Structure 1
Amino acid sequence: MAEDTSRWGFETRAIHAGQAPDPRTGSVIVPIYATSTFAQDGVGGLREGGYEYSRTANPTRTALEEALAALEGAKHALAFGSGMAAADTALRALTRPGDHVILGGDAYGGTFRLLDKVLKLWGVEHTAVDLADPTATRAAIRPNTKVIWAETPSNPLLGIIDIAALAGVAAESGVKLVIDNTFATPYLQSPLGLGADVVLHSTTKYLGGHSDVVGGALVTSDDDLREQFFFLRNAVGGVPGPFDSWLVLRGAKTLALRMERHSDNAERVVEALVGHPKVTKVYYPGLAEHPGHETAAKQMRRFGGMVSFSVAGGEAEALAIASRTKLFILGESLGGIESLIEHPGKMTHASTTGSPLQVSGDVLRLSVGIEDATDLVDDLLTALG
């Protein structure tokens, strides 16, 4: 019987859930089961654990899934080869041709691309809505709406959505609520406890935490949804390898420590950006003037390590600033121990160009790492000039 980890604190769950010492060798670290298949005791005679083929299940991946479920306070977690593989599986399980999805008006470009360029060809429609507005959200729900897909904080403008309120709107209409919890992580926010049906992670980001792995996850306490996700993942094959699973599991052990430092450093960066003559707006839910500040303070432990800001001089100046930083590396992705800077309009959100989700050219997005905060602030101020 699996250990009941619900009584443990977050940090204890991150280190021990699904990760008991190996019974055969005593290894305190989960082994990397680098195998494609498993011996059977006669046809269909699966050994302890029920493993037969690593696309279907692998012991290293199982350990990761047990850990992720424990961190989100859920019954089930399924790991994927990327965040987009997880998103695709969720949307294919929850929709059919002719169905409708409501998407936040400020969403990750890859999610928009999946809906607008792939699933639209399959007959799935979508509408972008300000999900922080319950009235607008209710008005957007159609008889064929099956999913509300939300990010909070959102990517890249750090918008905040009241998860409990949105869950109420979804439940009223029999719609499933999926929360992309990548920015917040399970350390800062617990969407399932606030009424969400499914939580999605790009484990590439904060859960992995070291910019050395690509992965994704779906987490839920709904048994039927778990079975649908499991079937599709096995049928389509978007699984992580055992080494990728091990890397995410390793990263998750220090998630709490890293998120505290990410949040500390982000607050220092925000303090330096607010009021700077070249900065016209700072997007960070920790700011009292942020429209979602009170909601974020209610449903998040802290405000996280992501910061976006707009600059005077428009796109040309934003690109120039991004090219001048030294410690903030110009690159896509986020959530690693090193700090990154990017231009969403031309990088992660280029697919939204010409759509209602297009990101203004004067916006830069920072993933604030765990370096010395003074060095990071100096780097940004030098780049701003």
Structure 2
Amino acid sequence: MSKKFNILILGASYGSLLASKLLMAGHSVSLVCRRDTATLINSEGTRVRMPVKGREGLVEIDSRQLPGKLSAVTPTDVKPEQYDLVCLAMQEPQYSASGVRELMKAIALAKVPCMSIMNMPPLPYLARIPGLDASGLRACFHDATVWDDFEPGLMTLCSPDPQAFRPPEEKPNVLQVGLPTNFKVARFENPAHTAMLEQMEADIAAARLTVNGEAIDLPVKLKVHDSIFVPLAKWAMLLTGNYRCVGADGMRPIRDAVHGDIELSRQIYGWVVDLCVQLGASRDDMVPFEKYAAAGQGLMKPSSAARALAAGATDIERIDLLVKLVAEQKGLRSESVCETVRLINGWLERNRKAAAEKKAAEAVVA
């Protein structure tokens, strides 16, 4: 029998998707979240619902019915040295929050291998890319000091390609998958750590869920890649669609951002792909534009980043700025990417000003 691992996942929302797949494979998972959410999950488990080809409706994965053991904990309850792997499944700005920051430092000092499931590559991962000056990219992060204690060799990146959301009418322990694609993770520097990922990959591939007496194979697998550039394939998609949802006066759906001017989108996509290739990626690591554009036809809402800005967010993940600064290190420039960065900077400045004014007004009233 293969070894069963103990995995810590920071972020109980999106993290519950990977958790469910690991639990199906018999591994143990602890989800880090707020106390009220932890109490709910420890009482009722998690529910992940996803479409399965050939079946009507959604298939629900109830963590209580799976062979692996699930628990939920708050940041202050975690002992990192008890885990074989840490997965980072929150938005980049959240890692500097009180309690989480201290946990991140403890994880780094415990030297537990970490797999990030963020669109934003952690600084230690960027340090693994030959010829890239990670120190020149610190401005892209909400608080770059969060990453200072992590060793690059202990950090890998997993592209969060599966799309999922929390149904607003449901409890926080419910997640619904909209696009059940695979998690694509790059190898670690240590072959033993990569072997751990490969075992998880095999275990997840072999796992089946019993539904009405039938053992069914569910989508959303873990795919381990030797290239450290495979997760960067998301950059071209984000810069072509997600971040271009942001306009000067409002937001537009991803579909419109991509298909409103398809030739401009093709140009931006190709420019980002060329940048990744210059960093060392193979074109085979990248997703063809036609495939991305076809998928974009069904994306009828603005991206989560655009919606957050419209709702007044003062911080979001800045892959737009990251790509701009990486390109500058390579002597490249895209006017379209620069315009996207300018627009997002403008929204953040306005939102921060409004938040400060609101706080000042509340202080006067108090």
| TM-score w.r.t. length of structure 2 | 0.33
Normalized per residue, the structure richer in helix is 2
| TM-score w.r.t. length of structure 1 | 0.32
